[in-house]
Amino acid sequence: MSRRSDPRTYDLDRLREDVLAEHGGEVDDSIPQLASADPDFCALALALPDGTVRSSVHADVRFSVQSAVKPFLFALALLDTQGEALDRIGIEPTGEAFDAIKLESGTGRPPNPMVNAGALLTAALVSGDDVAARDARILAGLSAFAGRALEVDEHVARDEHLLGDRNHALAHLMRAEGALEVSADDAVAVYARACAVLVDVEALAVMGATLALGGRNPVTGEQVVPPDVARDVVSVMATCGVYDGSGRWMRSVGIPAKSSVSGAIVMAVPGRLGAAVVSPPLDEYGTSVRGHAASRRLSDDLGLHVFGDPEDGLGAPVSTG
């Protein structure tokens, strides 16, 4: 039987140095703030059930959460609609790009909450009578997941709104199909601000851990969402979180995850821990090249693959004693 490493002593700085040797991928240029990101930036963090957060160097560097916000928008929508969101949004993988101008055939619903159409709708389903109220609800909810007060980068939010032509197209299409009840511009405005929330890799790891631990934040002890909501969100992360690369991700990494164009990846290992890695250069699926490599190493070294062979020492619970 192989012996896995202990996440409480695992050398994250060594892993970071190893994956820095990866030089593939391209930095996203959809907005100026992403295009100007340092391609050599890389940081990692783990959040454990006892509230311990471990991280590499540069873990305090903030970045916009971008699409890594989608699982948390889904969670808030499920909570605020008392599960009605499950009837409004599909949960099947698409095999399409994250911003494909496509809805479910026959229903007009977004295919799942992890693509842009789904995230536009989940953001619109969060409680609030107008844009400002939904913004405030989302920021408070994300802060509860992170266990600290978060804030919005107003410049990123403005450019996400102004330059998000495909998001505007998706919102108008959903309005035409009757899936979206608020105005298209309001939906895009709320989603743009959610994507512009600033996190660092430690905050993102705690957010992942909160989902992994049945909705309970391991740092604050707050039950942010009920266990069934966390379960539903992590399930969809496993099948849809890395877009049309989700199958390859689950085979090689085996951890429910959500990627983003800022190069961040948030991971939730059910019942065990949360993890996050960020590095801006992306592969053809929109996933961080170094992030994928680091996640695969973490999965192998810590035995995190959810389908790992128990006889090989994988999949055993993390001790918090």
Residue 191 assigned as binding residue: yes
- d(C-alpha 65, C-alpha 199), whole Å: 6
- d(C-alpha 191, C-alpha 73), whole Å: 9
Q: Contact, 255 vs 205, CB < 8 A?
A: no
Residue 67 assigned as binding residue: yes
Q: Which CB contacts under 8 angstroms, 24+ apart, belong to 174-178?
A: 174/103, 174/108, 174/110, 174/117, 174/120, 174/121, 177/103, 177/108, 178/108
Closest CA to 203 of 144, 155, 262: 144
Residue 57 assigned as binding residue: no
Residue 112 assigned as binding residue: no
Residue 60: Cβ-neighbour burial (10 angstroms; 0-12, 13-18, 19+): exposed
- Binding region for substrate: 67, 116, 160, 167, 191, 243, 261
- Binding region: 67, 116, 160, 167, 191, 243, 261
